[in-house]
Amino acid sequence: MKEVAIAILKGLKATDEEAALVAEIFGPGRHAGYRQHGVHLLTLCQTALLQDMIQIPTNLKVIKEGETTTLLDGANGLGQFAVHRAMEANIRKAKNSAWDVLWFETPITLAP
C-alpha cells in the first residue's frame, strides 16, 4: 500500500522525500481506526490540487528565524511534510537551548 501511495503522490508532482514521508504518515492512521487518516486522503489531495487549494511540491519558506524561534510558511503545500520539516528544525534548536518556539503558518488539513 505504501508503494502505491508513493507512486500516486509522485504522480501529483511530490518530491521523492515528500512522497515517502506523506505515504508513511497516511498508512498507520487508517490501520489504527482513524477515519480522517489514511491513503483514501490521496483522492482529496488530487481534488484540492486541481482546485488550486494545495501546492505540490511543498515550497516550505522560512519567514523569520532566531536562535530559539522559527516562523515558517507551508505555502499551502502538504501539511504532513511541512510540519515534519518544521519539527526537525526546531528539535535541532531545542537541543542547543533551554527552550524553543515554533509558529507555523498556512497549515492544510484535508478530511472527509
- The whole-angstrom separation of Cα 58 and Cα 14 is 8
Between 38 and 1, the higher pLDDT residue: 1
- Specify the higher pLDDT residue, 105 or 70: 70
Kindly report whether the global pTM for this prediction surpasses the value 0.75.
Answer: no
Express each pLDDT in 29-44 by its tens digit.
555 565 655 667 788 8
> Which residues have CB under 8 Å from 75's CB, separation 6+?
55, 58, 59, 60, 61, 82, 106
**112 pLDDT tier (thresholds 50, 70, 90):** very low
Picking from 87, 86, 89, the residue whose alpha carbon sits closest to that of residue 74 is 86
